[in-house]
Amino acid sequence: MKSLTLRNVSKTYFDPYAGAHVTAVSDASLAVGQGEFVSIVGPSGCGKTTILNMIAGFIPVSSGEILLNDQPVKGPGPERGVVFQSFALFPWKTVLENVGFGPKMRGLPKAECDKIAREYLALAGLADAAERYPNELSGGMQQRVGVVRALANNPEVLLMDEPFASVDAQTRMTLQEELTRIWQERRPTIIFITHDVSEAVFLADRVIVLSKGRVLKELAVPLPRPRVWDRLIEDSAFKALSGQVLQLVRSA
């Protein structure tokens, strides 16, 4: 069952410094099944964030089309949740209000929003932080809030733009394991952008390698779940796959 489809999507924009049009993404086609976990990996400037921004509806496509359940994507919407590298938590709202923001936008009453928010905070082990403000939390906790805020809106697709790039290495591993756990429980469709090869392989069912705005290669990741670093770090299949992806990225 296909959930999200990109058909010959291209993005060009005008660069006033160069005085010319620049191609960020050219002719990318992609199909993501419902409940699938896909990583998109590539060097910086390969167009991976541009693709994510187009799926999120933050920027329009120049040509081609993006379909979600056969409906073309027009602008941002709650059926596509986004998790940002910079967390993008509202500093003037408490953790509870941040997580309850999506339900509030759907017009649910306050009590209902709070109930949903508390439920999702408990999912990420953040129940005690509900009344705190984002700047009072560590980076790792802030991004947990960012993830459950997107999930609390019950999106069909979760778009994650290098969400763990700005937390320390220990926390990153924990967050990655937690994400796979939550994904197994709830089964949202996830598109995960990263430049970290082992992260891409660890998380996903399928890794898409991007280069210079084009899809270079797609690789299935048949590793068993649940995945934990203690086991995978020495796993030969994981090492082989990571090595293969790394070579593709470096050659790109």
Partner 1 sequence: MGNESQQSCRPAAAPAAAVAAQARFPRIVAAAQFVAPLLFLLLLWELVVRAFGVSPRIFPDVEAVARAGWETIQDGTLVRHIGASLGRVAVGTVLAIAISIPLGVAMGLSPVVSSFLTPLFRFFSVLAGIAWIPIATLWFGYGFGAITFVIFNAVFFVVAYNTLLGVARIPMPLRQAAAALGAGGWSMLTQVILPGALPNIVTGVRTGLGFAWRGLIAAEMIATNVGLGYMLFLARDFYRTEVIVFGMIVIGILWLLIDRLLLAPLERATIERWGLVDRA
Partner 2 sequence: MTPLLKAWSLYVRWTARFPAVRSIVPFIPVVALWAIVAASGLFPPVFLPGPADVVRSFGSLVYKGILPDYLQDSVVRLAVGAAAGMALGIPLGVLVGLNARARNMLWPILLFFQAIGDIAWLPILLIWFGFSLTTMTFVIVYTVLFPVVLNTALGVRSVPVELHRAARSLGASRARVVWEVVLPGALPNIMTGLRNGLGFGWRALIATEIIVGTSGIGFLMFDARRAGSVVEILLGMIVLGLLWYVVDGWILAPIERATGQRWGLVTQ
Question: Residue numbers of the site for partner 2 (CB under 8 A)?
Answer: 14, 16-17, 19-21
DSSP single-letter state for residue 97? H
d(CA 64, CA 28): 9
From residue 139 to residue 178, what is the string marking binding to partner 1 with x (rule CB under 8 A)? ----------xx--x-----x-------------------
CB atoms within 10 A of CB 242: 20
Least Å distance between CB 63 and partner 2? Answer: 18
Is 110 near partner 1 (CB under 8 A)?
no
Strand order in the sheet with 20-33: 20-33, 2-15, 63-68, 71-72
d(CA 91, CA 169): 25
By a kind-dependent CB cut-off of 5 to 8 A, residue 22 interacts, out of partner 2, partner 1, none, with none
Pick the closer one to partner 2 by CB: 17 or 92.
17
d(CA 78, CA 82): 9
The pair of three-digit structure tokens given for residue 203, joined into one six-digit string: 């998380």
Please provide residue 196's backbone torsions phi and psi, each rounded to the nearest 5 degrees. Answer: -95, 110
Answer for the pair 60, 54: CB distance below 8 angstroms, yes or no: yes
Pick the closer one to partner 1 by CB: 67 or 108.
108
By a kind-dependent CB cut-off of 5 to 8 A, residue 19 interacts, out of partner 2, partner 1, none, with partner 2
User: Which member of 29, 63, 69, 86 binds partner 1 (CB under 8 A)?
Assistant: 86
Least Å distance between CB 78 and partner 1? Answer: 4
Which residues contribute to the site for partner 1 (CB under 8 A)? Answer: 56-58, 75-78, 80-82, 84-86, 88-93, 101-102, 105-106, 133-136, 149-150, 153, 159
